[in-house]
Structure 1
Amino acid sequence: MCPGAFSKCLGISLLPLSVVCVLCNILLFFPGGTPVDSKLLSEEVWYFGGILGSGVLMLFPALVFLGLKNNDCCGCCGNASCGRRFAMLSSILFAGVGVLGAAYSVGVSVLAITRGPFCMKKDSKEWTYPLENSEYVFNPASWKQCVEPVDVVHWNLTLFLVLLAMGLIQSVLCAVQVVNGLVGALCGDCRGCCPEAQATA
């Protein structure tokens, strides 16, 4: 497969992942599926890992990758393919932006999963992080320490795990584009650049 066409496949893959991440982050504002006071949300929800990191920042590389296949900037210094080579090289920068965005989302997710949700503790009725520094992920019985919001542990854990998985996949896809961009910049695209340039070559 040509580097430009492969980049388009990567861009197509990144778009739905970004949408899923944004939706997951939005759902985190409604723990247990119910609206609560903003002061009762976990801090990590306000870091917008899914909206900013794996969402908005990921749109830039996704759109750039999609446009590489149709890039017609060809013909410079007598070389019909140098425009495509430069476009593939520049895509590496956007892939780097994507990796940073995904890494931010992954970091926020890991922090949120490790810390556990902000909730009302069963015994003291205080709002705190009762599951912090514990292995609650592998001990569902401990989830009963959070009484409000209802099912907040299951809700937060599921959504942050999805964000973690999506962020890791996005990182891999952007890293693949770094390699693909280098190949396209060094070897050129296997497709012709533009008929006019080929005819005069």
Structure 2
Amino acid sequence: MRKGMIFPIVVFIGLGNDNIYGHCQTRIYGKSRMVLTVVLVSLIGMAGAGYCFNVSLLGLLKGPYCLTDLGWNYPFNSTNGRYLTDLTTWSQCREPSHIVAWNVTLFSILLALSGLQLALIVAHVIIGLATGTLGNCCHRKESKECTEIDVSVGTVYQNHGAV
């Protein structure tokens, strides 16, 4: 497990019990805290995925650092990524062997995965915000359930004749 995932896991486990005291109001505040935390942690994830996306894109556009006839340099730096479609230019890099193919494969995979991660995080934020704003416990459907929490003590005693 990556160390970067420990903080979000601990936060979400702590927020998992959103009805600590059994009151509807506590549930609403718990959900609001959870939505805020989801958004904040997701923003951190978006920053990481965006950074990976940018580095991968720049790595693809710039090309690898390799040994050419002119010495160690970036031979494809001025091509703006056109070297990706012209495989004959890849022979400019003499060492390390197959560095251009390695560079293209690595950064393409990282670019695709970070793009997918960005899309999933955006979907997670949208779902979290929709659930947090539309899923409060005192909606019309659940208003009976919320009032029963406050009245349930009196109802139990009434049924047993203890009122």
- TM-score w.r.t. structure 1 length? 0.59
1:64: how far off? Answer: 6.8
Equivalent residue number for residue 187 of structure 1: 134
Whole-angstrom CA distance in 2 between matches of 1:198 and 1:155: 63
Task: Tell me the number of residue pairs that the alignment of Structure 1 and Structure 2 aligns.
Answer: 138
Distance 1:90 1:66, change over 3 A: closer
Distance 1:107 1:60, change over 3 A: farther
- Alignment root-mean-square deviation, CA: 3.0
Q: What are the within-5 Å matches in structure 2 for residues 90-129 of structure 1?
A: 90-121=37-68, 123-124=69-70, 126-129=71-74
Whether 1:200 aligns to 2:125 is no
Distance 1:162 1:114, change over 3 A: same
Whole-angstrom CA distance in 2 between matches of 1:62 and 1:170: 16
Equivalent residue number for residue 63 of structure 1: 9
Equivalent residue number for residue 81 of structure 1: 27
Whole-angstrom CA distance in 2 between matches of 1:157 and 1:64: 37
Q: Which runs of 5+ in 1 are unaligned?
A: 1-18, 20-54, 191-196
Equivalent residue number for residue 72 of structure 1: 17
Distance 1:112 1:80, change over 3 A: same
Counterpart contact for 1:89–1:184, Cα < 8 Å: no
Whole-angstrom CA distance in 1 between matches of 2:9 and 2:49: 16
Which amino acid in 2 is paired with 1:169? L
Q: Secondary structure at the match of 1:81?
A: helix
Equivalent residue number for residue 86 of structure 2: 139
Equivalent residue number for residue 7 of structure 1: none
Higher relative contact order (CA 8 A, sep 6+): 1
Larger radius of gyration: 2
Q: What are the within-5 Å matches in structure 2 for residues 36-47 of structure 1?
A: none
1:183: how far off? Answer: 1.1
